Amino acid sequence: MTTESIDELLLEGLQEMYYTEQQLVDALETLAEGTENADAKEAFSEHRAETEGQIDRLERVFDQLGEEPTATEDAVVQSMISEHEQFARENEGEVLERYNMEVGQKTEHYEIAAYGNLTSLAEKTGHEEAADMLAESLREEEDALDKVTQVSEQYDQQQIAGD
């Protein structure tokens, strides 16, 4: 893929993020349904609703740029989803519970990196309103990471205490 400008790089990143968020709405529902831990289930469900808002926000960013919202497949996200599906078929119980939390953390780290880059590109290209919206999604992803990390740590402590 040849990219001619920073504006094109921004657009390509937005298209991948649009794909990512659409895929994660379903993935977060799967994680919530496949998790017995009440705190983790709640965190996944809350972030699913937040992700739907991020999709709407991305659509507004596309509008700001005068572009039609278009999703471009992101191989990294597709790989994470496939890896989780395989792991979930082969594992259960405590191991799957903890793995679901790990997947949540990995995903948040990936989204933080993507939104951080998109925010920077939007600022660099003079799209301040778009940059503000992307920064809002970045903050939400950082908060989601904090929450899933906290839930994971609490889960680990409960497992240690229960052993």
3-class DSSP state for residue 73? coil
Residue 68: inside a domain: yes
Residue 98's H or E segment, with its range, is: helix 93-124
Residue 71: inside a domain: yes
Q: What pLDDT is attached to residue 107? A: 95
pTM over 0.75: yes
Q: What pLDDT is attached to residue 1? A: 60
CB 87 within 8 A of CB 96: yes
**Distance (Å, whole) CA 41 – CA 113:** 24
Q: pLDDT tens across 3-43, in order?
A: 789 999 999 999 999 999 999 999 999 888 888 889 889 99
Residue 144: inside a domain: yes
Confidence at 161, pLDDT banded by 50, 70, 90 = confident
Report the number of distinct structural domains present in the chain.
1
Q: What pLDDT is attached to residue 153? A: 94
**CATH code at position 62:** 1.20.1260.10
Could you tell me the residue range of the domain that residue 71 belongs to?
6-162
Residue 1: inside a domain: no
**Distance (Å, whole) CA 27 – CA 19:** 12
Q: pLDDT tens across 69-113, in order?
A: 999 999 999 999 999 999 999 999 999 999 999 999 999 999 999
Residue 48: inside a domain: yes
Is 163 a residue whose pLDDT tops 70?
Answer: no
